[in-house]
Amino acid sequence: MTTTTIGIFGGGQLGRMMAQAALPLNIKCTFFEAKTDCPAAALGPVISTEANNGLQDFIASADVFSLEFENTPLADVDVLIQNKSLFPPRQALATAQNRLLEKALFDELNIPVAAYRAVDSLASLKQAVVDLGLPIVLKTATGGYDGKGQFVLREADQIEQAWAELGPAKSLIAESFVQFSREVSIIAVRGQDGEVRTWDLAENHHHHGILSHSIVPAPDSQDLQPVAQDYITRLLHHLNYVGVLTLELFVTEQGLYANEMAPRVHNSGHWSIEGAVCSQFENHIRAVAGLPLGSTQTIRPTVMVNIIGQYPKKEDVLALSCAHLHLYDKSERAGRKIGHITLMPLDSNELTSLCIQLARILPEPLALTEEMQINV
């Protein structure tokens, strides 16, 4: 069957960029989202999650389905897959929604992770501290993103406070604190025929728990790339995955440690729109539609910078050479991702200069010159 319409759970900027990639392929998208004025609304019909029969109308609106966020309700997915196909598969979604299941999967596939314990009571938290030592990172097993739902527990006298803040969630995970030098992510795509292609590793930098910028290829990553590719390929084949998958990793003296996976296109892959032969968004659409995958080769070194909270002057950004501006049609709000900028200079000297210039014109909190002085 020829795919003409893809239904996407969610209508944020990821859905918007997937739909932008689908249009040249004569593939349309529909969206299932609470707010009908969401960023994806300019690209296709939005069916409200609040509407009567909204889910059934959404299921009827497309040939095949995908998603833009891992917290897509499994109850909705269970109704959908009775009659239609969802890519990625339900198992990947259910695993990614629960950090305990996710860590167990990593263990099963021999993908290194920090030591961890399940926590469901104050007593089990105290035992986890004994077993793992301090510091530890206490996280909710479900939910949480951009640093939310976490508590870094450094001293024993913080145990009561940590439980008070996160304990009501009931299902928690305590992880040993990983001593890492940097964070990287590997993004890969698997087609319906089982073919796997991966993009270059991205080195990711965060500000207040939110991704601020990514550098691709990650510096000094020649030895890390094949290891990361091996880990994510194990996941893709084990899950019989179709579409784009992201694996976030810590670089340590002992090698790469998995942090978490995201069963979707990812913020650290936005660079690929201009920086790769075929972007994460186009390859995801191709995979979901059953089409051949495109090349994931990097065109040239690239930096992606998130616009968070407040828009810069459009004219200032576009005046920079080799800069590409993407705005998401979202209102300004502190801590909110509302756009991104991709820098594609011709050499590393120009890249460093461009990053410094960009840091000067970005509104707070990203106007941090030191943070944007990137060595590549």
Residue whose token pair is 């030895």: 223
Distance (Å, rounded) from C-alpha 185 to C-alpha 204? 7
Beta partners for 342?
Answer: 304, 324
289, 3 Cβ separation under 8 angstroms: yes
Tell me if 28 is assigned to a ligand binding site: no
Tell me if 145 is assigned to a ligand binding site: yes
Tell me if 99 is assigned to a ligand binding site: yes
Tell me if 290 is assigned to a ligand binding site: no
- From 111, 118, 159, select the one nearest 139 (Cα to Cα): 118
Tell me if 340 is assigned to a ligand binding site: no
User: How does 271-292 read in b/e, with b if 16+ C-beta sit within 10 Å?
Assistant: bbbbbbebbbbbbbbbbbbbbe
Tell me if 178 is assigned to a ligand binding site: yes
Tell me if 144 is assigned to a ligand binding site: yes
3-state secondary structure of 196: strand
Tell me if 184 is assigned to a ligand binding site: no
Tell me if 148 is assigned to a ligand binding site: yes
C-alpha distance from residue 98 to each of 89, 95, 136, 143, 260 (Å) = 15, 6, 18, 8, 10
CA torsion through residues 146, 148, 149, 150, sign: positive
Tell me if 311 is assigned to a ligand binding site: no
Tell me if 176 is assigned to a ligand binding site: yes
The annotated binding site is made up of: 99, 139, 144-150, 175-178, 183, 206, 259-260
Binding residues for ATP: 99, 139, 144-150, 175-178, 183, 206, 259-260
